[in-house]
Every structure is written in structure tokens, then in C-alpha cells.
Amino acid sequence: MESISPAEFAARRAQLLAFLASQERPAAAVLSAHPERQRSRDTDYPYRQHSDFYYLTGFTEPNALLVLRPGSAAQQHIFVQPSDPHAEVWHGRRLGVDAAPARLGVDQAYSYEHDIEQLTELLDGVETVFYLFDDTNLADLLQQVGATMRRPKSGYQAAAQYGDLSTYMAQQRLYKSAAEIALLRKACSISAEAHKRAMKACKPGLYEYQLAAELHYQFAYHGALSPAYGSIVGGGDNACILHYTENSSALADGDLVLIDAGAEYQGYAGDITRTFPVNGRFSADQAALYEVVLAAQAAALAELRPDSTLEPAQLAAARAITEGLLALGILTGSLADNLEQASYKRFFIHGLGHWLGLDVHDVGTYEVNGSKRVLEPNMVLTIEPGIYIPRGLGDVDARWHGIGIRIEDDILITADGYDNLTAAVPKTIAEIEQWMRNQ
């Protein structure tokens, strides 16, 4: 089974320690596990670890802290939930303090119940404390620790400044290791099979949630216990709501249905969109619009290579959509004027894609020092153009109303181009119609 090795987690922490050691003044990093979230009365939402915490530890329990402080003999410290037979009978096994150092490859472990006292000791003399500024719970904890250290005659030396760790983490996570790529391939392949299953199961009268059930069955059966994000199954006009997750309507004969769903496998996300006819046959108008989106995706993909930015792909997709909408009479005027005014944005209302990894909208900036980021091997991103014409767009011919189309694949940048990790899902009109026909 694919997984990230303890040695790889250790190497990630070693790199962060090296980053801390390279600071001018004594520095440490503190990261916290995600909090548990109440769903109703005494039940919680299924727990999901914070991606950065997971990236550095592989640890999946809540109520945990990681502290890295270079220089001393013990550099890696973890706070975990203490063993508690009663709590464990009710809520599940805990690693516990004693087992944590060997299992997680750190020097020292403590109970998170003593976090304030112990953090005060660990951070004494650290001038810059790095943490994720978005982590407001941890900010509160660090405030308390700082207040304790600054008490008169405390004898401690409190931090003089705080640094945001998110830029460092994003830069690290942007480049996927071989083991991460194997997990992404697995997430993508489970997601691809789920889309194929839903396509096959589709027929008029089915409810959107029943197609979602086909997807989720396939995810879970193959060890992806959660979707990577709320699955979107939108028939007809519902496909024009970008993050439609109600999935509550019946699928109508003659409509298209848009499915945007991906499995999360060992923390890594798949993210696929396909749009297909509920009854298995595209109408002429649906096919015409579908071909425009398909051509836009192909044009964008053709521009992907290392040493290029994403800009040529974005321009190619915008041009293909503009040309297609002009040919169908949905846009009017000259190509040059429409490109100049970016009139396609009325119909292609979101970006071309995003980084993909532990988070579906993964970390990593799209610009570096004010310029578009150059693509490099082992980056993974989605390419997902779309056209959406909701009912009620009065100035567009009614024959196009209630059509939302998006086509999304997950792309690994390689040394000589790219690898489409989700190519297994039927995508051309002929492929889709054939797949849906062969029951």
C-alpha cells in the first residue's frame, strides 16, 4: 500500500529545522493539530488533521502540538493526548506520550494537558516563534505562554517577534515527492473509477444524491473514507451553481449533469469534473457547447510544460472559449474586441485551475516576486475550464439556458511535459456516449 515513510516525515522536519537554524536570531516553530468540531450535541464531525501538521508528522490525532527548536540536544518535541483507558474505550485508541517519540521519530513527548508550562520551558530564549498566523487557537496559546514569560521576575526570555510559517510550508508542499505522487495517483484513480461508475448508473429520474451515492460507495470501498470536498452533482440549471452541494433534485431526461467530485486518499485529493447527458445522448446544442469547453481544455493542456508559466494555458483557454462562443452566436462582434474585453468571463466565471495536494485547493502562490510562477516538474494542478449559462440570462438565446459544463483533470508536471492523472474517465462525446450505452 502506498504511504509516506517515517523517514520522509523526518526529512521534512529536518528541513524545517534547517530553515529555523538559518534565521539570524534563535528561532523555533510551533504547529498545532486541527481542533475537533462539534456536529450535533455530543457528536463531532469526522476528524481530519491539519494538512501542514500532517505533512510534518503523519500524526492523525487531535489535541497535539509539534515544537521544533534547533540547536539543543532535543530539537523535536510533540504534545499528544495522554493514554486514558476510559476515554479510549469510548473514543478510540490514542498513541499516548510514552509511545510517541519512537513512533513519530521525535526527541521528546509530553501530554498536551501541560502545554502551557512545557511550552514556556521549550520557548525560553527563542527570539522568533514561527507558527501559522491563520491558527487563531495557537495564537491564543502563544499569547498565554508569552504573558507567563513576561511576568515580572519570571526569569524567562519571551519571544520578541512572531513569523508566519505559511510561506515556508506552501513552498515545501508545492513540490510533490515520489511517495506523494504515488498517493495522488491513487486518489485520482479511485476518483476516476467513481466517475465512471456514476456515469454508468445515470438515468432520467434518478436523484442527484443517488449519483453522489455511487461516487461515495466507490471512494469508500477503495479505502478513501472521505471525499476531498463536498461532492457536486448538479443536473440542468444546478450545474451553473459552482459549489452546488445540495444534490437534492431529480435528474431530468434531456438535461446535462455536472459531477465535480474527488476522493481523499491518505490525505491526498483527487478533483475531477465531468459533464454528461442524463439520458446518455448529447443534444446538438449541448454537444456544440461541450465541444467548446473540450477544445478549451485541450488548448490549455497543450501549453503545459516545465519552464512555462500558466499564462499561455490561460490565454489559450480564453481564446478557445471566445472563438467557440462567437461561432455559436452567444458572443457577438470581433474576436479581437471580445478578447480585449475578456467577454468570455461572463460565461467562464472561475480560474483555469489550482494546485492540488493535501488540500484540494492546495497551498502555493501563483506569483513569485510579482511575476507568474514558472511551472516545474512534480507540481500538480487542475485544468478545469467551464461555460455556464443559467436560466434567466435574458440576452442569451433560451436554447442555451440551463447548461453548465466543466471539464476538469488533474495534471502532474513532468520533466518533458505533463501527465494527466485522471485521463481514465471518458471525456470526448464519443467516449462518454459509448461508456453510457454499454451497460
Active site residues: 42, 243, 260, 271, 350, 354, 361, 384, 388, 406, 408
For residue 419, the cross-strand partners are 412
Minimum distance of Mn ion from residue 300's CB (angstroms): 13
Question: Quick one: what does residue 305 bind among ligand GLY, Mn ion, none, with the CB cut-off 5 to 8 Å set by partner type?
Answer: none
Q: Kindly tell me which residue out of 115, 180, 193, 260 binds ligand GLY, with binding defined by CB under 6 A.
A: 260
- Alpha-carbon distance of 216 to 233, in angstroms, equals 12
Stretch that binds Mn ion, among 46-54, 77-85, 100-108, 382-390 (CB under 5 A): 382-390
Which residue has the CB atom at the shortest distance from ligand GLY? 260
Q: Read off φ and ψ for residue 219, nearest 5 degrees.
A: -55, -55
Question: Quick one: what does residue 264 bind among ligand GLY, Mn ion, none, with the CB cut-off 5 to 8 Å set by partner type?
Answer: none
Single-letter code of the amino acid located at 266: Q
Query: For the CA atoms of the chain, what is the radius of gyration?
Result: 25
Minimum distance of ligand GLY from residue 322's CB (angstroms): 22
Stretch that binds Mn ion, among 61-69, 175-183, 273-281, 327-335 (CB under 5 A): 273-281
Q: What is the maximum alpha-carbon separation in the chain? A: 81
Question: Quick one: what does residue 229 bind among ligand GLY, Mn ion, none, with the CB cut-off 5 to 8 Å set by partner type?
Answer: ligand GLY
Q: Find the binding residues for ligand GLY in span 329-348 (CB under 6 A).
A: none
Q: Find the binding residues for Mn ion in span 207-226 (CB under 5 A).
A: none
Query: Which of 237, 401, 377, 386 shows the shortest CA–CA distance to 300?
Result: 386
User: 267: which 3 cell numbers?
Assistant: 490525505
The smaller minimum CB distance to ligand GLY, of residues 227 and 426, is found at 227
Residue found by looking up cell 504534545 in the block: 79
Three-state DSSP at 297 gives helix
Inter-residue contact 247 to 396 (CB < 8 Å): no
The smaller minimum CB distance to ligand GLY, of residues 9 and 244, is found at 244
What would the x/- binding string for ligand GLY be over residues 357 to 396, using CB under 6 A? ---x-----------------------x------------
Stretch that binds Mn ion, among 95-103, 170-178, 220-228, 257-265 (CB under 5 A): 257-265
- HSE-CB for 345 with a 13 A CA cutoff: 8
- Alpha-carbon distance of 28 to 366, in angstroms, equals 28
The smaller minimum CB distance to Mn ion, of residues 214 and 408, is found at 408
Q: Find the binding residues for ligand GLY in span 407-436 (CB under 6 A).
A: 408
Minimum distance of ligand GLY from residue 46's CB (angstroms): 19
Q: Return the axis-axis angle of helices 178-201 and 208-221, rounded to nearest 10°.
A: 140
Three-state DSSP at 334 gives coil
Three-state DSSP at 380 gives strand
Query: Which strand (E) or helix (H) includes residue 33?
Result: none
Residue found by looking up cell 448508473 in the block: 201
Q: Kindly tell me which residue out of 52, 208, 255, 260 binds Mn ion, with binding defined by CB under 5 A.
A: 260
Minimum distance of ligand GLY from residue 384's CB (angstroms): 6
Stretch that binds Mn ion, among 199-207, 235-243, 380-388, 430-438 (CB under 5 A): 380-388
DSSP letter assigned to residue 355: B
Q: Find the binding residues for Mn ion in span 278-297 (CB under 5 A).
A: none
Q: Does 229 bind ligand GLY (CB under 6 A)?
A: yes
- Alpha-carbon distance of 224 to 189, in angstroms, equals 11
- Alpha-carbon distance of 74 to 72, in angstroms, equals 5
Distances (CA, A) of 432 to 114, 115, 271, 437: 58, 56, 19, 8
- Alpha-carbon distance of 345 to 107, in angstroms, equals 53
Minimum distance of ligand GLY from residue 140's CB (angstroms): 31
The smaller minimum CB distance to Mn ion, of residues 20 and 421, is found at 421
The smaller minimum CB distance to Mn ion, of residues 52 and 260, is found at 260
**Vertex 366: Cα angle to 364 and 372 (nearest 5):** 145
Contacts with ligand GLY, residue ranges (CB under 6 A): 229, 260, 271, 354, 360, 384, 408
Binding site for Mn ion (CB under 5 A): 260, 271, 273, 382, 408
